[in-house]
Chains A and B, each alone.
Chain A
Amino acid sequence: MFDLEDWLTLLRDWRYFAEGLGQTVKASGLALLLALGIGVVVGVLSVAPWRPVRGLTRVYVEFFQNTPLVVHAFFLYYGLPHLGISLPVLAVGVLALGVYTGAYISEVIRAGIQSIHRGQLEAAYSQGFTYLQAMRYIILPQAFRVVMPPLTNQMVNLIKNSAVLAMIAGDELMYRADGWSSYNFLYRQAYTAVALLYLCLTLPLATVARRLEQRLLGRESREVPL
């Protein structure tokens, strides 16, 4: 039996979910900018010719890749205020998601840089470029093409991970679904609806990633001389 009435209840309250979706988009979008910024800087520094700097990037990446996102979010939300720093919950979400995903993105960028032949860097040096100039004008533009597909996957992960904010009253999509369902007892409807809404955000991204990957493969095979 299809419980039409329950689904209509959900449709009637669509605005409540739409507001949650808006908050998810806002938190994810801002976190993405932060993560990309951190990822590019740390990625470039992680292959820099300066050993202490490389060491520091390693510490950052290993720490954030190997500890749970929930722990970071709880630390910022419950822990920091006791040190006199009380960030609004949106800032907590952006910071936690951005710094966490930044660690993954920096690894993607590093792999991209390392996939570019070393001769490119040597050629740039011979033309008088500094390390950072060579990265900016020679290496990164080429690496970016290679890293687009894995980068997009990280964006998808970031959006999915934003559901963690429900645990700290983040007022985003998952939080709204939790509150609404436990009040109306319509768990199946609520969580099905939010799954579909998350899909609306992530599926287009995932599809773009696959298409970029295919285009990349296609171009490379064409570049192979006969």
Chain B
Amino acid sequence: MRGWVRSVVAGVLALGVAVLAGCGSAAEPASGGEGGGSGEQPAQVSKLEEIKRRGYLIVGVKADVPGFGYLNPETNMYEGYEIDLAKKIAEEIFKVPGQVKFEPVTAKTRIGLLQSGQIDMIIATVTVTEQRKQEVDFSPVYYTDGIQLLVKKDSGITGLKDLDGKTIGVAQGATTRARLEEKAKELGVTPKFAEFPDYPSILAALQAGRVDAFSVDGAILKGYQMQDPSTVILPEKYSEEPYAIATRQGDDDLRDLVAQVITRMQESGELQKLQEKWGLTGQ
């Protein structure tokens, strides 16, 4: 009997220690100002300085969203509107092109990676929300999208109102679910939700009949609709999703530089041109 008690106590203690250690290390960078996290550098080094010393910019991008951030399997290169934006910003910092490294992120991983300093910024279809503003800094908006539904053509579904009791596949950590729940309540329907770690899983779930609709921002859906011609994007939009570049709170010099670049590209019409280049203008 005593052995039983002892092993439980030991297990709980071990975990407790791990938790406390975790708390300690997480609290340190916050109290030490905006140090990059590595103890070697003096705490005063700004983010921009840190990036320049490193010699390249690390940007969290989507690898599975054609038109925005997509790792083209044929060339093994990242391409898309957001990739072009990242290249512009890197060029602004280093005055020469090509000093940028892309790190693939998902809706679930991106904020954590930014906060832990593993990436310098996120340009990965991040919707600006009040809640996220508490966690990260945002640049001016570079694209506005809306949540839409992708369904099978032969399903007969024409909008959210047809999805009462049916299942909608969404991405973990995305705002999609909360927005759709609001809209569904207004319409008086109660759909079920299934969350998946990435978009290809949701498309696979739709194809397998596991979910009746795949929902995320329209521009992201477009790429998947093209992959599977038996599906169709429904025209109704259920939200306004303003996309902006996220930087870590405290990295003020980097945030300001990013804001400058986006504002300038907006005014010169360069943003519009890039959107046309990637086919993102057809609403």
Contacts and interface: CB of A to CB of B under 8 A. Distances in A.
Given A179-B172, A207-B3, A77 B208 contact: yes
A206 B205 CA distance: 36
Interface residues of B, number: 33
B197 interface: yes
Contact of A86 (B108, B169, B204, B209): B209
Most chain B CB neighbours (cut-off 10 Å) among A169, A175, A187: A169
B197 A78 contact: no
A195 B26 CA distance: 19
Given A169-B169, A188-B22, 13 more contacts: A77-B205, A86-B208, A167-B201, A169-B194, A169-B195, A169-B196, A178-B197, A179-B195, A182-B173, A185-B111, A196-B12, A204-B8, A207-B3
A55 interface: no
B277 interface: no
Interface of A: 1-3, 77-79, 81-82, 86, 89, 167, 169, 175, 178-179, 182-183, 185, 187-188, 192, 195-196, 199, 203-204, 206-207, 210-211, 214
A82 B208 CA distance: 6
Contact of B197 (A77, A79, A167): A167
A167 B197 CA distance: 7
Most chain A CB neighbours (cut-off 10 Å) among B26, B194, B201, B210: B210
B133 to A, nearest CB: 12
A185 B114 CA distance: 12
B77 interface: no
Interface in B164-204: 169, 172-173, 194-197, 201, 204
A192 B15 contact: yes
18 contacts: A77-B205, A77-B210, A78-B204, A78-B205, A81-B209, A86-B209, A167-B197, A169-B196, A175-B195, A178-B172, A183-B173, A188-B19, A192-B15, A195-B15, A196-B12, A196-B15, A203-B11, A211-B3
Nearest to B28: A1
Given A178-B195, A203-B11, A207-B3, A78 B210 contact: yes
B209 to A, nearest CB: 5
Complex A-B, nearest 5 residue pairs according to Cβ-Cβ distance, in ascending order: A182-B173, A81-B208, A169-B194, A182-B108, A1-B27
A104 B197 CA distance: 29
B172 A1 contact: no
Contacts of A188: 19, 22-23, 26
A199 B15 contact: yes
Interface string B87-111: 0000000000000000000011001
A82 to B, nearest CB: 6
Nearest to A183: B173
